[in-house]
Amino acid sequence: MSADSGSTPVVTRFAPSPTGRLHMGHAASAIRAHDFARARGGRFLLRIEDIDGTRSRPEHVATIREDLAWLGLDWDDLTFQSDRLGLYAAALERLKETGVLYPCVCTRADIAAASLAPHGPEPVYPGTCRGKDCAMHAPHAWRIDMARAVPITGPLAWWDETAGTVRCEALAQGDVVLARKDAPASYHLAVTVDDAAQGVTDVVRGVDLFSATHVHRLLQALLGLPTPAYHHHTLLTGADGERLAKRHGAPALAAMREAGADGLALAERLRATGFSGVNA
Ligand code: GLU
């Protein structure tokens, strides 16, 4: 099933952040998104999520393109989020006009210190700056006041391939950042704006981003944007059962490529194992 299984052509995307080298988990995700579109005569987009100026590196962009081509994937369009900052700024203005945003001057350390219970990898924002006149002249982020925003849209839901109809629970995500001190958009805002602007019908991505979808669904409603179908897939794990991530030292695709491994054969093995066996 896709967002509109009728006449709308299927559009999927792979949206890596060029902050490091891709590993097998990325390969699996890219192949899934690519194959989902191709099997339906649809379009597959490559979107480089490079708005984090401090962590993004141009050399990783070149490597990502080579990795995907090595796996036998081709894409219909290549976009860079850094070229699209005006779109995000316009969406941010719209949200400001609805009165659901507030400036926040907290640092990561402030938030960690004020958070009683950590929630996932990032603690839920404890609301320190909410309802206060935090210095507008100081460098500040913009956060969404979930308690204000949620009643505006009323109950929301989205469709996920594995979970079925999911009730949107954006409030539980806390007042997430929509524009950073050093960038006019956060991941949440940019991804929501881009998926809509690029006509993405089916978001194929790892289950680690499942909870982010609560935020994206809310933003879609506030901004009057369409809701794609979601396909949150399981993550590859290493032999130790740990999920593959750069921090666990998973081998980079580029290293495998440079060592002479066959990318097409690797992609076929991933498909044949249902994207489960990293050591296949
Ligand atoms: N850029 C994100 C990442 O590399 C993925 C965004 C998405 O698929 O929504 O984790």
213 Cα to the center of ligand 1, angstroms:
11
The pLDDT of residue 244 is above 80: no
Cβ(212) to ligand 1 under 6 A?
A: no
The pLDDT of residue 238 is above 80: no
19 shares a domain with 151: no
What CATH number has the domain bearing residue 38?
3.40.50.620
183 shares a domain with 151: yes
The pLDDT assigned to 280 comes to 36
Cβ(15) to ligand 1 under 6 A?
A: yes
Ligand 1: which of 17, 34, 194, 208 to mutate, most ligand atoms within 8 Å of CB? Answer: 17
252 shares a domain with 228: no
Cβ(17) to ligand 1 under 6 A?
A: yes
Domain of residue 52 covers 1-83+236-280
Q: How far apart are CA 73 and CA 264, in angstroms?
A: 9
The pLDDT of residue 135 is above 60: yes
196 shares a domain with 108: yes
Nearest atom within ligand 1 for CA of residue 206 = 8
188 Cα to the center of ligand 1, angstroms:
10
The pLDDT assigned to 247 comes to 53
The pLDDT assigned to 180 comes to 92
The pLDDT assigned to 116 comes to 60
Cβ(207) to ligand 1 under 6 A?
A: no
The distance from CA 58 to its chain's CA centroid, rounded to whole angstroms, is 19
103 shares a domain with 72: no
| Among 46-60, 63-77, 79-93, 242-256, the least confident range | 242-256
The string of pLDDT tens digits covering residues 146-203 is 999 999 999 999 999 999 999 999 999 999 999 998 888 999 999 999 999 999 999 9
Residue nearest to atom 6 of ligand 1 (CA): 15
143 shares a domain with 128: yes
145 shares a domain with 251: no
The pLDDT of residue 15 is above 70: yes
Cβ(205) to ligand 1 under 6 A?
A: yes
165 shares a domain with 91: yes
Residue 120: left if φ>0, alpha if ψ -120 to 50, beta else—which one?
left
112 shares a domain with 65: no
Domain count, the chain: 2
96 shares a domain with 216: yes
Nearest atom within ligand 1 for CA of residue 19 = 4
What is Dmax (Cα atoms) for the chain?
58
The pLDDT assigned to 4 comes to 47
64 shares a domain with 158: no
> Which comes out higher in pLDDT, residue 231 or 243?
231
183 shares a domain with 259: no
The pLDDT assigned to 54 comes to 85
Cβ(245) to ligand 1 under 6 A?
A: no
pTM of the model: 0.92
Contact (CB, 8 A) for 63 and 27: no
The pLDDT assigned to 253 comes to 96
Provide φ and ψ at 22, rounded to 5°.
-75, 150
Cβ(49) to ligand 1 under 6 A?
A: yes
- The pLDDT confidence band at residue 112, using thresholds 50, 70 and 90, is confident
206 Cα to the center of ligand 1, angstroms:
8
